[in-house]
């Protein structure tokens, strides 16, 4: 007796047969071997290493909205008021606003600033020997006896106000004003004789001034004191006993006072000549600091001895006067370019 075949089983086998053939053709395309062939080993492609990230560029500095501009002052001192080249100092004090500088007297000084927006007050002066400067007041030194010294150094001063725009340079010429002036008095002897000692003074002079204008700094009481306004001359004999030269330097005269010269000359023969002279008119130009040079004559001849009267017993000869006092009034003004040559 024959069994009837199951149609479902037959269809399943047919499906599996075709499915196997399909997979055998398709799987090798994906690198998978069929079950009935040798396995195919597929090398995996290398994975490239990632490139390093570039370092970030530095951020640019911010550009300032307000660019700072430097202001400059080109400061040049002018020493044309100096009487001699040797009177010009090597350095001077320069004040620009609150800044203090010691500047070379012969070169241009460049002052630079970027902070200030205001104008610049400028003050300049030198510090000569024989003069003290404190709080912008200059005072001539004094001797041990309280008189003004004869020959202080030459003082110069100037001031101005400078204006300069941001980014610009301003040229600032400083005319240094001479605030001290020389006085030279020459006494020529009528007869040459050696001088042993001389003492001479001149009163009515300015002892202290304000800087930079040069106006007297003493009060009225100090002006009236003869000790405070009197200078002791520097005295030298002329060659060959022909006379003496008296020199001083001063800030000027006090116009409310007289300028009186007093001198005592001790000669080698023992005589002492004492005299005084009112030089108020002759020294009037000192108010403008013009150099002064005066000359006069001093009688140094010995007095003649009187002839004895014809008597049996003549009286002894009178002694030669030892002290002679007098006045000198015929002063002559000396002019010329060499007025300060020996100061």
pLDDT digits (tens, 9 = 90+) for 127-162: 999 999 999 999 999 999 999 999 999 999 999 999
| Together in a domain, 203 and 329 | yes
Q: Which domain holds residue 292?
A: 180-302+321-337
| Together in a domain, 166 and 193 | no
| Together in a domain, 246 and 165 | no
pLDDT digits (tens, 9 = 90+) for 167-179: 899 999 999 999 9
Distance CA 309, CA 320 (A): 18
Mean pLDDT of 222-242: 88
| Together in a domain, 214 and 96 | no
| Together in a domain, 77 and 147 | yes
Residue 227 lies in a domain: yes
Q: Residue 222: which pLDDT band, with cuts at 50, 70 and 90?
A: low
Residue 297, strand partner residues: 188
| Together in a domain, 149 and 78 | yes
pLDDT of residue 64: 54
| Together in a domain, 97 and 165 | yes
| Together in a domain, 125 and 140 | yes
| Together in a domain, 173 and 218 | no
| Together in a domain, 293 and 227 | yes
pLDDT digits (tens, 9 = 90+) for 243-260: 999 999 999 999 989 999
Residue 59 lies in a domain: no
Number of domains, the chain: 2
Q: Residue 1: which pLDDT band, with cuts at 50, 70 and 90?
A: very low
Q: pTM for the whole thing?
A: 0.72
pLDDT of residue 274: 94
Cα dihedral 151→130→231→295 (10° resolution): 10
Specify the length of the chain in residues. Answer: 343
Residue 131 lies in a domain: yes
Residue 208 lies in a domain: yes
| Together in a domain, 184 and 110 | no
Domain boundary among 179, 198, 225: 179
Residue 33 lies in a domain: no
pLDDT digits (tens, 9 = 90+) for 65-114: 455 578 899 999 999 999 999 999 999 999 999 999 999 999 999 999 87
Task: Please state whether beta strands 292-298 and 272-278 pair in parallel, antiparallel, or not at all (unpaired).
Answer: unpaired
pLDDT of residue 171: 95
Residue 194 lies in a domain: yes
Domain boundary among 179, 199, 218: 179
Category of 140 on φ-ψ map: left (φ > 0), alpha (ψ -120 to 50) or beta? beta
- Whether residue 241 is predicted with pLDDT greater than 80 in this model: the reply is yes
Cα dihedral 299→302→307→309 (10° resolution): 90
Residue 174 lies in a domain: yes
- Whether residue 320 is predicted with pLDDT greater than 60 in this model: the reply is no
pLDDT of residue 219: 66
Distance CA 262, CA 276 (A): 4
Residue 237's contacts (CB-CB under 8 Å, 6 or more residues apart) are: 194, 195, 198, 243, 244, 245
CATH number of the domain enclosing 194: 2.60.40
Q: Residue 240: which pLDDT band, with cuts at 50, 70 and 90?
A: very high
3-state DSSP assignment of residue 187: strand
| Together in a domain, 191 and 291 | yes
Q: Residue 53: which pLDDT band, with cuts at 50, 70 and 90?
A: confident
Task: Supply the mean pLDDT for the chain.
Answer: 82
Domain boundary among 179, 194, 216: 179
What Cα–Cα distance (Å) separates residue 75 from each residue in 67, 70, 121, 302, 337?
26, 16, 12, 62, 30
Residue 250 lies in a domain: yes
CATH number of the domain enclosing 150: 2.60.40.2100
pLDDT of residue 301: 85
């Amino acid at each position: 007796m024959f069994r009837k075949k199951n149609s479902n089983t037959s269809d399943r086998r047919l499906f599996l047969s075709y499915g196997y053939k399909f997979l055998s053709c398709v799987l090798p395309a994906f690198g998978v071997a069929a079950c009935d062939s040798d396995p195919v080993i597929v090398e995996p492609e290398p994975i490239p290493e990632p490139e390093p990230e570039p370092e970030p560029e530095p951020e640019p500095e911010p550009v300032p909205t307000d660019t700072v501009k430097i202001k400059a002052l080109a400061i040049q001192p002018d020493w044309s008021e100096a009487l001699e080249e040797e009177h010009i100092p090597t350095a001077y004090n320069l004040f620009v606003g609150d800044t203090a500088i010691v500047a070379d007297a012969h070169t241009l000084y460049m002052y630079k600033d970027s902070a200030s927006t205001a104008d610049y007050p400028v003050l300049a002066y030198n510090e000569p020997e024989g003069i003290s400067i404190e709080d912008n007041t200059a005072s001539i030194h004094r001797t041990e006896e309280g008189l003004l010294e004869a020959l202080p150094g030459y003082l110069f001063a100037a001031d101005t106000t400078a204006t300069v725009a941001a980014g610009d340079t301003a040229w600032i010429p400083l005319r240094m004003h001479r605030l001290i002036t020389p006085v030279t008095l020459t006494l020529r002897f009528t007869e040459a004789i050696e001088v042993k000692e001389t003492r001479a003074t001149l009163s009515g002079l300015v002892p202290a001034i304000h800087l930079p204008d040069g106006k007297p700094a003493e009060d009225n009481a100090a002006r009236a004191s003869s000790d405070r306004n009197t200078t002791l001359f520097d005295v030298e004999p002329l060659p060959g006993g022909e006379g003496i030269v008296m020199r001083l330097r001063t800030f000027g005269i006090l116009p409310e006072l007289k300028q009186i010269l007093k001198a005592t000359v001790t000669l080698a023969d023992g005589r002492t000549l004492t005299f005084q002279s009112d030089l108020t008119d002759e020294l009037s130009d000192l108010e403008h600091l013009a150099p002064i040079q005066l000359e006069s004559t001093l009688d140094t001849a010995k007095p003649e001895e009187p002839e004895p009267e014809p008597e049996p017993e003549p009286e002894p000869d009178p002694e030669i006067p030892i002290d002679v006092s007098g006045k000198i009034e015929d002063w002559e003004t000396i002019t010329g370019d060499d007025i300060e040559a020996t100061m």
